[in-house]
Amino acid sequence: MKVLFAAPDDIRAEWHAPLTAACPEMELLEEGDPAQFDAIIYSAGGEIEDLSPYVNARLVQSLWAGVERIISNPTLTQPLARMVDPGLAQGMAEFCTGWTMRAHLQMDRYRQDGVWRSTEMPPLASSRAVTILGMGALGQAVAAMLKPIGFDLNGYSASGRAVEGVRMFGRDELAQALARAEILICLLPDTPETRDLLDAEHLAMLPQGAWIINAGRGTLIDEVALCEALARGHLGHAVLDVFRAEPLDPADPLWAAPGVTVTPHIAAATRSESAAAVVAENLRRAMSGRPILHLVDREKGY
């Protein structure tokens, strides 16, 4: 099969060997007659403005979980699959668990300033309510890692579909989900419904002193409202791994905003060594007419 690799040079250099090893029957090309390609492997930065000439492509396989940069292309008619990589899910779960534990144990209280704060003791995890916004593959991976620790776990998704060990809230129950979020983990995708979802009104629904960990999409939070809620003491802290524009400008006020920790979009990296097998499986499915894994719903945007 002939596959176009639409990606920046650094991505092609990193992924070429793992992809060809995982799918040796594939001829991976950087250019050619659009009509000759059976599929397209896509990475942000390798945009194709006009996908209509790729009339024989049976699949556009994204290397990333987020597909907002390609799904808006009006010439995209081919099936589009997002990346669901076991390594990505593991990394996301570890990132969110680490920051959840830091928030829960209130580690930042114990400044090395000579003050013996022996009365400042955190509750047990069973008394700490954690809410996960977005209960897809990544949200469920985070919940699975947090559950054995014993947290009071709550989840929010549009469907409100049941998840074992998690109290679930649906589309019309966001207020209830936020009210239970002493620690709020944000993993929602970027869609018209989720943009600026956490505005001043919704941030005010969080408990006093709540922490926010946003590893989903930067468009989810109204940053001005967030900084105001932190400044007046309603929120305890915000860990932000994703932003509307990346890399975050060195002059952006978030770098110096009190109560904000900036991390450089490291929560869930797609690892070529594990993700290449996912790409290979989907290419074989597309070529044989079998159902494609992780197919994007165009209306939902994920």
Q: Which of 169, 148, 136, 163 is nearest to 101 (CA)?
A: 148
Give every CB contact of residue 225 below 8 A, 6+ residues apart in sequence: 198, 199, 200, 203
pTM score, whole prediction: 0.86
User: Angle at Cα 147 formed by Cα 175 and Cα 167, nearest 5°?
Assistant: 30
Q: What is the pLDDT of residue 90?
A: 94
How far, CA to CA in Å, does 2 sit from each of 15, 34, 56, 58, 285?
16, 10, 10, 11, 15
Q: Which entry of 16, 195, 265, 285 is annotated as an active-site residue?
A: 265
CB of 58 closer than 8 Å to CB of 287: yes
Q: What is the pLDDT of residue 83?
A: 93
Could you give all domains of the chain from N- to C-terminal order, each with its CATH number?
Answer: 2-85+270-288 (3.40.50.720), 86-262 (3.40.50.720)
Question: Three-state SS across 2-31?
Answer: EEEEECCHHHHHHHHHHHHHHCCCCEEECC
Q: Which entry of 82, 104, 180, 217 is annotated as an active-site residue?
A: 217
Active site residue 217: yes
Helices (H), 132-251: 137-146, 174-179, 200-203, 223-231
> What is the overall mean pLDDT for the chain?
95
Active site residue 265: yes
Q: How far apart are CA 259 and CA 227, in angstroms?
A: 8
Q: Which of 128, 108, 132 is nearest to 213 (CA)?
A: 132
For 227-277, how does the pLDDT look when each residue is reduced to its tens digit (9 = 90+)? 999 999 999 999 999 999 999 999 999 999 999 999 999 998 888 989 999
Residue 68: band (very low, low, confident or very high) from pLDDT cuts 50, 70, 90 = confident
For 1-14, how does the pLDDT look when each residue is reduced to its tens digit (9 = 90+)? 999 999 999 999 99
91: helix, strand or coil: helix
Neighbouring-strand partners of residue 81: 61, 295
Please say if the pLDDT value at position 111 is more than 90: no
